[in-house]
Amino acid sequence: MAANNALTPPARIGLVGLGLMGVPMARNLLAAGYSLTVYDVNTQVLSDFAAANPAASAAASLRALAGVCDAVITMLPNGKIVRDVVLEGADNLASGLAAGTLVIDMSSSSPVGTRELGELLAARGLALIDAPVSGGVRRAVDATLAIMIGGDDAQIARCEPLLKAMGRDLFRTGGLGTAHAMKALNNYVSAAGFAAAAEAVLAGTRFGLDPATVVSVLNASTGKNNSTELKFPQQVLTRKFAAGFSLGLMVKDLRTALEVAQATGMKAPIAQATVDEWAGAEALLGPGADHTAMVKFVEHLAGSTIEDGPIQGD
């Protein structure tokens, strides 16, 4: 069975984690024709998904899900939860997985922890690849996510058709853990760009510029980034703050990115400053706030908001 699994693309898929990202990803797997079994610790979420998607099967436990799948996707808040679900909980996946089964961690996990988990699963005859995603809920819905993939080349080739059902841009990053490292580094660059834009827009507004003009000029100039192009017009200037990714998860990813840099022995002062600023926002607003609400922390430090307009100097 293990030898066949190593050569055959998985057809029976399990997905653990029906959150904001997991739900549309699961729907896209169903749309692509995969046999799908789902599980979530929240039984109401699980039953709601099963009712809305009758082609999917809802598992009563992780072990039950493991017994009917060729590959299992985890889409969970962090690597600690992934490890507990896969290996260490009273009800875990590894206890029910057949040798040769593939585990695909699409969560934003610590790359160091991913490598440790990979070794533990390999000792049980199980394969692990890391395949975190970028693009947010909107791109999860329309199956255009960017997916970074780390691990054994043969295992990656085996699951590429599966991943293409959820994403448009697939990037092989190298050995196990490199994809999780890349995801954290991407979010660091994104968060640093957002923080810089927040400070620039607020400073411009206080000086007498219209905030929409500041954003428009940035987007027509060299200061343009994902945040100025999408998040500021859609979330910040409208004060919606509902992009669908929490402040707590962003801070977690930023700390992971700093961990990656420090693991190589390099100094990363901008990464450290970015962690500190976003951690301050988390302390003020709470981990459940949308990450775009971080602009409120910048406003808190300045003592005014983007909506207040110019601040008269002395």
Just list the catalytic residues. 183
Q: Which two tokens stand for residue 127?
A: 């394969």
Q: Locate 9 and state its tokens.
A: 């693309």
Q: Using CA atoms, how far apart are residues 103 and 36, in angstroms rounded to an integer?
A: 14
220, 232, 249, 248: which is closest to 196 by C-alpha? Answer: 232
DSSP letter at 88 equals I
SS3 category, 115: helix
Burial class (CB in 10 A: 0-12, 13-18, 19+), 90: exposed
Question: Encoding tokens for residue 235?
Answer: 């979330």
Strand 71-74 with 57-58, pairing: unpaired
What residues have CB less than 8 Å from 92, skipping those under 6 apart? 62, 63, 84, 85, 86
Residue 203 CB coordination number (10 Å): 14
